[in-house]
Amino acid sequence: MNGAAWHAFLAMGGYAAYVWPAYAVFLAVLLADALAPALRRRRIVRDLRGQLLRQAVRQARQAKATAAIDKPGAVEAPTGSA
pLDDT tens digits, residue range 30-61?
999 999 999 999 999 999 999 999 999 999 99
The full set of domain ranges for the chain reads 9-69
pLDDT tens digits, residue range 13-34?
888 889 999 999 999 999 999 9
Torsion sign, CA atoms 66, 69, 73, 75: positive
* Full-model pTM: 0.54
Say if CB 60 and CB 52 are below 8 A apart: no
Say if CB 15 and CB 9 are below 8 A apart: no
Kindly give the residue spans of alpha helices, DSSP state H, lying in 1-82. Answer: 3-11, 16-70
d(C-alpha 6, C-alpha 28), whole Å: 24
